[in-house]
A = this chain, B = another copy of it.
């Protein structure tokens, strides 16, 4: 059993992690910390967990965490980077579900996150936890940066084309849509149901932190800097991300459907739909899958790739569990074989 601690267990990423770990056969969650809810039982805050967890939230205690095999951070940005160096020194492995280790370029990180990075050396060591790209590195990583939700959906949608050099990468357009749980569980007016229900809008069009992250991933693969317009939108639903990705073909591409099917044939969590499909976010509700469909409208040079994930699962906690499975030599699917909740 993997002795596991969770720092910051009260947000949506935290409760999703608890949902998945509750039925994971190889994990023993020994600590769930929360400054604000310390002392309160986990199942009191989340009625859905009654009968699954008997423990209470606790104050974060570095010594107790140091006894874990693995610590997940489901905290706001800026927390994990302060605690990770000591945990690594104590031999604990770390998966950060926040953004502290996602951008390898420290200056770029500091520009987008607006604070100095607490441990650039650890950042340099961190592995970007997208198994479909970095599986082998993840197995041996001490510190894994769990990808952002939009970047997961966008990267998986673009990867086969960029790997094969089939599209122009100077002017990609990623028009992405997310359910409201992506904004977290903090008290706010902006995310009240009275504000976001029955309405749709774009946000952060001038610049969103996931833009440089998507660019970084695609640039690694294309080996050249990538140009990207990224437009996030808010959908009046709780879970799900839909990435509508546009690209211009630069080469006569052959059978693109076959390219995608081959690229992802051995991936347990990427499902290429039959030609002509339109994936729905509900088809991945609560599961770790990404479903992708590829279109070439009217046979033109513009490709439209549709990629859906559950932002809390493949876009956060599910991918973190997948990374944990890799790090600890388990079957990658272990604990992640739920069926999507539909309807």
Residues of A within 8 A of B (CB): 12, 15, 19, 22-23, 46-52, 171, 173, 175, 177, 179-181, 183, 185-189, 191-203, 205-207, 227, 229-231, 233, 235-240, 242, 244, 246, 248, 271, 273, 276, 278-287, 291, 295, 297-298, 300, 302, 304, 306, 308, 312, 337-343
From B177, B199, B239, B342, contact of A15 by CB (8 A): B342
Per assembly, the copies of the chain total 4
Q: Which among A46, A276, A283 has the greatest number of chain B C-beta atoms within 10 A?
A: A283
Question: CB < 8 Å: which of B177, B189, B192, B273 contacts A47?
Answer: B273
Who on chain B is nearest to A273 by CB?
B47
B177 and A177 contact, CB distance less than 8 A: yes
**Nearest CB to that of A248 among chain B residues?**
B171
List 5 A–B pairs whose Cβ atoms lie within 8 Å, in order of A's numbering: A48-B287, A50-B271, A197-B198, A199-B282, A230-B297
Residues on B with C-beta less than 8 A from A194 are 12, 180-181, 183, 185, 191, 238, 343
Query: Are B46's CB and A12's CB within 8 A?
Result: no
CB nearest to A189 among chain B residues: B187
Q: Are A244 and B195 in contact (CB under 8 A)?
A: no
A204 to chain B, nearest CB (A): 8
Q: Contact check: which of B171, B199, B205 meets A306 at CB < 8 Å?
A: B205
**Beyond A192-B180, A237-B200, is A48–B242 a contact (Cβ under 8 Å)?**
no
Are A48 and B205 interface neighbours, CB within 8 A?
Answer: no
Contact A238 B197 (CB under 8 A): yes
What is the CA–CA distance of A229 and B19 in the complex, to the nearest angstrom? 37
Complex A-B, nearest 7 residue pairs according to Cβ-Cβ distance, in ascending order = A199-B282, A48-B340, A47-B283, A48-B342, A193-B193, A175-B175, A201-B280
Chain B residue contacts of A337, Cβ below 8 A: 23
Contact A188 B198 (CB under 8 A): no
Q: Which residues of B contact A12 (CB under 8 A)?
A: 194, 343
Contact check, B244 vs A202: say whether CB atoms are below 8 A apart.
yes
Given contacts A203-B278, A279-B201, contact A229 B193 (CB under 8 A): no
Q: How far is the CA of A338 from the CA of B286 in the complex (A)?
A: 11
In the complex, what distance in Å separates the CA atom of A207 from the CA atom of B276? 11
Instruction: Tell me which of A48, A171, A186, A298 has the highest count of chain B C-beta atoms within 10 A of its own C-beta.
Output: A48
* Distance (whole angstroms) from the CB of A9 to the closest CB of chain B: 14
Contact present for B297 and A229 (CB under 8 Å) = yes
Tell whether, in the assembled complex, residue A298 and residue B207 are in contact, meaning their CB atoms are under 8 Å apart. yes
